[in-house]
């Protein structure tokens, strides 16, 4: 006879980090500060363009008959930005030097957004997200169609937990390219973290549909199309879990495990969705897959033990407890307290 699952905790695992503090009652929603490996589509932002590097950014007004003084000023500005680019892109980035050059560019021409974009990139690279937001916002104030700024600005806002603002940035970016799956994925991520799960479902489904129809790989990231698709399914599973639509969450996460069979994260969160939906035997199999990939993952042993408790298998639950004692004593004691 199966036991009703207990008011104890399950842990969500992220490839980026673990967090035993982000616990929740079994059957509840995923913690808001973890996404189980589903992340934003992102790579290191591009350097602002210079005349020598492919031309000025589009959309800037150019004088029809510039004076020699204006031409010289533009050349000096390009050189300053190029110096900032070189310092930032060096094998060992020289961020202080890059910041000096980009700041000088903003003084040489306060109406040119490129210096502010460069500053934003330098700040983002160093995790100075508040300053990055200020710099990128100034660049967009000067030139609202400066598309390359939108993605790093959205990323910086998310890192500051300013999800509502990030959502607006991603929506604006979609006005330039309404069929970009990476933006829909990021929009779904931001919606998830502001508890707008219905909107998150719609955004993630749109990303999945676009990837399926066009085969379009990520433009911004280094990931393959398959990795992007897996990420979108993880975000979709998160959204369904937030709506307590656990079977649909499990179906989405199942797709993720099929795309990335060696992703411990995908299997882990599949187990969580199955557990939340009362499908304990299936959850057990999912956690076993996790432990094949990550044998020492304490959270997986813990959740597997709870799943055994849910089907009233005390013997196997105790085996997980004994294993867990050598990995994480605190979690082991929590598991032992849940075993009747």
> From its phi and psi, is residue 8 left (phi > 0), alpha (psi between -120 and 50) or beta?
beta
**CATH code matching the domain that covers 262-340, chosen among 1.10.3720.10, 1.25.40.10, 3.90.470.10, 3.40.50.1110:** 1.25.40.10
- Tens of pLDDT, residue by residue over 183-225, are 999 999 999 999 999 999 999 999 999 887 655 554 544 557 7
3 and 310 Cβ atoms separated by less than 8 Å: yes
pTM of the model: 0.81
**Topology alike, domains 47-59+69-158 and 161-243:** yes
DSSP per-residue letters across 40-78: ----PPPPPP-GGGT-SPTT----SS--HHHHHHHHHHH
Q: In the prediction, which pLDDT does 258 show?
A: 93
Confidence class of residue 19 from pLDDT cuts 50, 70 and 90? very low
State which fold the 161-243 domain adopts: 1.25.40
Domain made up of 47-59+69-158: CATH architecture: Alpha Horseshoe (1.25)
> For residue 54, is pLDDT > 80?
no
DSSP per-residue letters across 92-133: S--HHHHHHHHHHHHHH-TT-THHHHHHHHHHHHTT-HHHHH
- Tens of pLDDT, residue by residue over 256-268, are 999 889 988 889 9
> In which element (H, E) is residue 238 found?
helix 225-242
Region 136-152: mean pLDDT is 95
Region 84-112: mean pLDDT is 96
The full set of domain ranges for the chain reads: 47-59+69-158, 161-243, 262-340
């Amino acid at each position: 006879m199966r036991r009703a699952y207990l008011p104890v905790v399950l842990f969500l695992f992220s490839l980026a980090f673990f967090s035993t503090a982000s616990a929740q009652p079994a059957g509840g929603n995923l913690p808001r500060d973890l996404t189980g490996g589903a992340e934003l589509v992102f790579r290191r932002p591009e350097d602002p363009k210079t005349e020598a590097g492919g031309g000025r950014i589009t959309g800037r007004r150019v004088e029809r008959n510039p004076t020699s003084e204006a031409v010289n000023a533009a050349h000096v500005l390009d050189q300053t930005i190029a110096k900032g680019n070189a310092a930032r892109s060096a094998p060992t980035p020289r961020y202080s030097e890059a910041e000096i050059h980009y700041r000088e560019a903003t003084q040489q021409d306060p109406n040119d957004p490129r210096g502010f974009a460069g500053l934003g990139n330098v700040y983002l690279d160093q995790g100075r997200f508040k300053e990055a937001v200020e710099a990128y916002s100034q660049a967009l104030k000067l030139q609202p169609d400066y598309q390359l700024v939108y993605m790093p600005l959205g990323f910086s806002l998310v890192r500051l937990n300013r999800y509502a603002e990030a959502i607006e940035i991603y929506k604006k970016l979609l006005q330039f390219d309404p069929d970009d799956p990476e933006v829909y994925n990021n929009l779904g991520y931001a919606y998830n973290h502001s508890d707008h799960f219905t909107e998150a479902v719609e955004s993630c489904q749109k990303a999945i549909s676009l990837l399926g129809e066009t085969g379009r790989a990520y433009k911004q990231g280094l990931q393959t199309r398959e990795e992007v698709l897996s990420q979108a399914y993880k975000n979709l599973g998160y959204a369904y879990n937030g709506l307590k639509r656990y079977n649909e969450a499990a179906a989405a996460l199942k797709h993720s495990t099929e795309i990335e069979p060696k992703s411990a994260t995908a299997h882990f969160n599949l187990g969580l969705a199955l557990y939340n939906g009362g499908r304990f035997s299936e959850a057990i199999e999912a956690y076993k897959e996790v432990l094949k990939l990550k044998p020492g993952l304490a959270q997986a042993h813990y959740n597997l033990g709870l799943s055994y408790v849910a089907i009233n298998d005390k013997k196997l639950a105790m085996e997980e407890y004994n294993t867990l004692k050598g990995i994480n004593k605190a979690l082991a004691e929590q598991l032992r307290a849940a075993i009747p």
